[in-house]
Structure 1
Amino acid sequence: MKKYDLLIKSGTVVLENEVCVIDIGIYEGKIIALKSTIDTSLAKEVLRAEGMHVLPGAIDIHVHFDEPAREHWEGFDNGSKAMAAGGCTTYFDMPLNGVPPTITKEAFLNKKKLGNEKSFVNFGLWGGLVPGNKDELKKMARQGAIGFKAFMSEAGSEFEFSDGLTLYEGMKEIAKLGKVLALHAEKDKTIKELQKQKEEQGLTSIRSYLETRPIEVEVEAVKEALEYAEQTGCSLHFVHISSKEAVDLIVDAKKRGEDVTLETCPHYLLFGEKDFVQIGALAKCAPPLRSKAEQEKLWLSMEKGEIDMISSDHSPCPMDLKKSNNMFEVWGGISGGQYTLQAMITEGYQKRSIPLTKIAQLTSTAPAKRFGLYPQKGSIQVGGDADLTIVDLKNSYIVKQNRMFFKHKHSIYEGYEFSCTIRYTICEGEIVYEFDTNTFQQPINKSRFVQQIENTNVR
C-alpha cells in the first residue's frame, strides 16, 4: 500500500518563515510530510517540481460570481476556473450581483448549493447587510456565512446601500454573532452631490467620474465606519482600500484596539489614473484608480505591514455594459481574479524584492487567519490541507484572451507581461489545474464549501 496519494518532489517551498527545497507528501487531501527527501516509490503519483516554487494556494476573499440569474455575467464554473488558473484554492463570493442577492437564509442556501455543484476550488460565502434584513443575519451565520458585506454607497444593483442607522444596528448584531463586517467605504451623499454637478454641466468623461470619487469620499466613509465600530464592538474589514490616508486611519484604529483589517487590490498597485484614461471603460472601478504617487504610497504601506491582505475584487460583466461614452452609465468592475498571485510575485517579489514569505502572507496566510480557516488553510504545514500552487519564476506569461477563463474575455490586464507562470494548482490534494495541458479537474460529489474553525478569532 502506498503511503502518499501525491508526492511533490524537490520544489522550492515557501513556508511561513523560510523558503527551502523539500518534498511534500500528501494523503487524503492533507499534508502529512515535509522532508528533505521522500522515496518516490511510496507515492501513487509524483509531481516533479524541480526549479519551481510551491506556495500556499491563494485565498481571495473578494470575488463576484453573479449566480443566480446573472451567470451570463459570471458563474461558479467559469469564475472558479479562473481562480484555479491563477493559483487560488479558496475564494469568498460577495452577496451581489445575483438575483436575489444573498441577504436571506434561503438565498444563501441556494447559492451554497450552486457553488457545490459547480466550483472547481474551495469557496466561502458572504452574507449581505442591507436595510431591513437584520433578522436574517443570524440565520445566514448559522448556515456558515464567512461574514457580512455592506455598501456605504450605491452598489449599482439590487443590493441596497446601508444608511447610518442600518450600519449601526447591523454592527451591533454582527458583533453579537462574532462575525466580521466587510465594508465598501465611500460616502454616498458626497458622491451623488458631485455627480449631479457634473451631469448638470454635461460632463460625463473619465476625468469627470474620477472627480466625483476623490480620496476624501473614501476617507469620510472610513471615519464614520470606525466610529460605529468603536461604539458597537463590531469587527471590520475594509475592502479595496485605495488611498494612504484611509490606510492611516485604519492603522490608527488598530493601535486603539479596534479589531479591523484592510485589503487592497492588485489593480490599485499596478494601474493608475493615466491607465484609466488610456484603457477606457475596462478600467472603471470604485473606488477609482488613483495617481502614480498614491500608488507608490500603497506599495510602501504594504512593505511596512500596514496592509493586511491582497484581494482581487474580481467583478466581471458582459462587454455591452462597458460600451458607453457616459462613464457614469458604464458598469464598474475589473476582471482580474485570475492574475492576483502573478501580479504580486512579479511586481512585489521580482521588482521590489518583497520576500516570497511576505507575498504568501498577503495572499493566503493573513486571509486564512482573519476568517478562521487557519491552520487548515493558508500555510504549508503538516496537518494542513494540501492547497498549493506551483509557480515557475523562470518563464514569463503574457495575458491573452485565449487563456482568460472567466466568462467574458476582456480585462485591464490584457497584454500585461508577468514574470512568472502558474503551472499547477492543487486543491485538497487534487490537481485541479495544469498549465501545460490547459486542463481542469472538477471534484465529483465533494463539497467545496469551507467552514470556519470554531472559536477562532485570529487576525
Structure 2
Amino acid sequence: MKADLLLKDGLIVWPGLGTGRGSVAVRDGKIAAILAQGEDLPAHRVIPCHGAWIMPGLIDPHTHFGFGAGDDDFRTESRSAALGGVTSYLSFHRSADLAESTPRWIAAGERLSCLDFGCHFGLTSLRHVAQLPEVMERFGVNSAKLYLMYKGASGAAKGFTEIDDGLLFAAMRQLASLSGSVLGVHCENVEVIPGLRTPLREAGRDDLAAWDEQSPDFLEAENVFRVGYFSEKTRCRVNIVHLSAGEGLDIVQMLRGRSHPAPIEVETCAHYLSLSTDSAAGLLGKVNPPLRGRRDVDALWNGIAKGQILTVGSDHVPRKRATKGPDIWQASAGFPGIATLLPVLITEGWHRRGIPPERLAAVTSANVAALYRIPGKGSMRVGDDADLVVVDPDCERVVQAATLESHSDYSPYEGMTLRGWPSLTVAGGRVMMENGTLTDEAETRRGRYLHRTSGAG
C-alpha cells in the first residue's frame, strides 16, 4: 500500500490511554495505518514530525456561528478553527421553527465551511419540545440546549416568553424518551441577578469583577442542582455546559453520589481554565456565565485531572470589538476562542499543571465524539476519518487577533504568549494548515454535515 500522506516519527497521542512513538499513514481521507517507531510505509507525501505530538483533530462542541457575519461565519470561523487544530465543530441552531429552518442552515454550512460540522438545537418554546422527535431523527441530531438565563424579563427582551422550569421539565421528559440524547443547560439563576446588579451599577462599577459579582458562582450552582435533580426524576441525560466555577462541580459530584439514574455530564471552556476576573482583557472578557477567580480556574483543572469534566469547548462567538462597550453593563457577552482553544489548554494544562496530552485529547476529541455520537472521529484508529493535528508543545507565539482569520477583530488573549501551537492540521486527509498558514485546501475543501444517531427508544 502506498499512502497519500505519512506523518512520520511523532509522539502519537491516544485519547485517555497514553502516548507512543510512531507514524500515522493516511489514504483516501482515512487513517490507513499506525506504525510503530522504526516502521515505514511509502507515501506520496511524507511530513517529518520530529517527536511532535500527533493528536486527533479537535472537535469543538460549543460554538455560536452566525453571531458575527451571519452565514459567512461558516467560512471565516471554520478557517480560524483549522488554524488552531480544530477539525470539526458543533454549533447552536435556534429558530422559531426548527423543521423549517434547519435545511437552510445545513445548506449554508455545506456551501461555506471548510470543516465538517453539526448542530445542537436551541430550545426556547414548547413547540420546540414537541418537534424534537421529528427533527432529531430527520436531521441526525442527538443534542439540544435550554437557556435558564433567559427566564422572565431577561428572555422577554430577546423574544423568549416560555422559558421556565416547566419548559425545562418538559424538555427533559421528551429527551428521556429519545435514545442517546442529551440536554445541555446554561445554568444561571437570572431572577436573583437584578438585585445584585443594581447596587453595583449605582456604585459606578465598570470592571470585569463586577460582572462576576452580579452573577456569582452560587447562582450557577443553584441552577446546577435544579437541573441535576430534575434529571434524576425524569431520567434524562444532561450536560452542564460551560461550567465556570468549582461550586457547581461540587454540586454535580454530590448528585452523582446519589446513585443518579441518568448521567450528569460537565463541559467547561478554555477561558474558564485560563482567564479570571483580574484579566487584562477587561471588557473584552465579558461572558455568560462570568469569568471567576483563580481558585475556580484551579478547581476546574482539578476536575479535568480527575475525570469529573467530560468535555472542553471554546464557546466561540465571532462578534466585533465594537460590540464590547461602552461599559461592562452594555457590552455584548462572549468572545472568539476557537483558534486558541488548543494552545490555551497546552499552556495551562500541560506546561503549568502537568495534565498529560492524552487527557487533553480526551476532553477535546474522543469524549466529544462519544457524547454526541459522531462516528469515525475523535480517536486514533485505523479506518477513522483522517482528522489530525500535529502539535509542537514548545512553540511559543504571541496571540494576535489579526492572524487568526476570524470575522472577529480581537481576542481576550491578545498580547499573551501561549506555549504549544499546532504546526499541521489535517481534515479528511487534506492538509488545511501548515506551519501557521492556511493552505489552498482551506479554500477549496467543503465540510460535510455530521448526521448523528438519535431516535425513540
Q: TM-score, normalised by structure 1?
A: 0.90
State the 1:240 CA deviation. 0.9
What residue in structure 1 maps to residue 131 of structure 2? 136
Change in CA separation of 1:73 and 1:290 when aligned onto 2, cut-off 3 Å: farther
Q: Give yes or no for contact 1:7–1:26 (8 Å, CA) kept in 2.
A: yes
State the 1:146 CA deviation. 3.8
Query: 2:221 and 2:162 mapped to 1: Cα distance?
Result: 17
The amino acid that maps onto 1:110 is R
What residue in structure 2 maps to residue 252 of structure 1? 254
State the 1:159 CA deviation. 6.0
Query: 1:103 and 1:343 mapped to 2: Cα distance?
Result: 37
What residue in structure 2 maps to residue 79 of structure 1? 77
**Among 221, 224, 232, which residue is 1:222 paired with?**
224
| Deviations 1:62-97, CA, capped at 9 Å, x for gaps | 011016xx526971111111111111111110125x
Change in CA separation of 1:44 and 1:95 when aligned onto 2, cut-off 3 Å: same
Change in CA separation of 1:403 and 1:341 when aligned onto 2, cut-off 3 Å: same
Query: 1:161 and 1:391 mapped to 2: Cα distance?
Result: 46
Q: Given the alignment of the two structures, is residue 5 of structure 1 paired with residue 7 of structure 2, yes or no?
A: no
Change in CA separation of 1:163 and 1:197 when aligned onto 2, cut-off 3 Å: farther
Which secondary structure does the structure 1 equivalent of 2:126 belong to?
Answer: coil
Query: 1:456 and 1:366 mapped to 2: Cα distance?
Result: 23
Q: Give yes or no for contact 1:204–1:328 (8 Å, CA) kept in 2.
A: yes
Q: Give yes or no for contact 2:207–2:282 (8 Å, CA) kept in 1.
A: no
**Any residues of structure 2 matched to 1:278-289 within 5 Å, and which?**
278-289=280-291
Query: 2:278 and 2:71 mapped to 1: Cα distance?
Result: 27
Q: CA RMSD in A?
A: 2.4
**Any residues of structure 2 matched to 1:200-215 within 5 Å, and which?**
205-215=207-217
State the 1:267 CA deviation. 1.0
- Between Structure 1 and Structure 2, how many residues are aligned? 445
What residue in structure 2 maps to residue 339 of structure 1? 340
Q: Which structure's relative contact order is higher, taking Cα pairs within 8 Å and 6+ residues apart?
A: 2
Query: 2:389 and 2:162 mapped to 1: Cα distance?
Result: 37
State the 1:196 CA deviation. 4.3
Which secondary structure does the structure 1 equivalent of 2:452 belong to?
Answer: coil
The amino acid that maps onto 1:87 is G
Query: 1:446 and 1:196 mapped to 2: Cα distance?
Result: 48
| Deviations 1:288-320, CA, capped at 9 Å, x for gaps | 111122222222222222111211111231222
State the 1:356 CA deviation. 1.0
Question: Identity, % of aligned pairs?
Answer: 28
Query: 1:48 and 1:401 mapped to 2: Cα distance?
Result: 29
Q: Give yes or no for contact 1:174–1:234 (8 Å, CA) kept in 2.
A: yes
The amino acid that maps onto 1:112 is I
Which secondary structure does the structure 2 equivalent of 1:338 belong to?
Answer: coil
What residue in structure 2 maps to residue 114 of structure 1? 108
What residue in structure 1 maps to residue 360 of structure 2? 359
Q: Given the alignment of the two structures, is residue 380 of structure 1 paired with residue 380 of structure 2, yes or no?
A: yes
Q: Given the alignment of the two structures, is residue 126 of structure 1 paired with residue 120 of structure 2, yes or no?
A: yes
Q: Give yes or no for contact 1:235–1:259 (8 Å, CA) kept in 2.
A: yes
What residue in structure 2 maps to residue 93 of structure 1? 91
Query: 1:443 and 1:254 mapped to 2: Cα distance?
Result: 46
Structure 1 residues 196-205 or 141-150, which shifts more? 196-205
Q: Give yes or no for contact 2:114–2:444 (8 Å, CA) kept in 1.
A: no
What residue in structure 1 maps to residue 278 of structure 2? 274
What residue in structure 2 maps to residue 61 of structure 1? 61
State the 1:138 CA deviation. 2.1
What residue in structure 2 maps to residue 290 of structure 1? 292
Change in CA separation of 1:213 and 1:436 when aligned onto 2, cut-off 3 Å: closer
Which secondary structure does the structure 2 equivalent of 1:165 belong to?
Answer: helix
**Among 141, 145, 148, which residue is 1:145 paired with?**
141
Q: Give yes or no for contact 1:129–1:150 (8 Å, CA) kept in 2.
A: yes
The amino acid that maps onto 1:273 is T
Query: 2:434 and 2:43 mapped to 1: Cα distance?
Result: 19
State the 1:176 CA deviation. 1.4
Change in CA separation of 1:419 and 1:181 when aligned onto 2, cut-off 3 Å: same
Which secondary structure does the structure 2 equivalent of 1:230 belong to?
Answer: helix
Query: 1:392 and 1:312 mapped to 2: Cα distance?
Result: 21
State the 1:452 CA deviation. 2.4
Q: Given the alignment of the two structures, is residue 429 of structure 1 paired with residue 429 of structure 2, yes or no?
A: yes
Which secondary structure does the structure 1 equivalent of 2:185 belong to?
Answer: strand
The amino acid that maps onto 1:117 is R
Q: Give yes or no for contact 2:114–2:445 (8 Å, CA) kept in 1.
A: no
Query: 2:163 and 2:455 mapped to 1: Cα distance?
Result: 29
The amino acid that maps onto 1:135 is A
State the 1:217 CA deviation. 0.8
The amino acid that maps onto 2:117 is F
Q: Give yes or no for contact 1:74–1:316 (8 Å, CA) kept in 2.
A: no
Q: Give yes or no for contact 1:125–1:146 (8 Å, CA) kept in 2.
A: no
Which secondary structure does the structure 2 equivalent of 1:181 belong to?
Answer: strand
Change in CA separation of 1:378 and 1:406 when aligned onto 2, cut-off 3 Å: same
Q: TM-score, normalised by structure 2?
A: 0.91
Gaps of 5+ in 1: none
Gaps of 5+ in 2: none
Query: 1:161 and 1:324 mapped to 2: Cα distance?
Result: 31
What residue in structure 1 maps to residue 173 of structure 2? 172
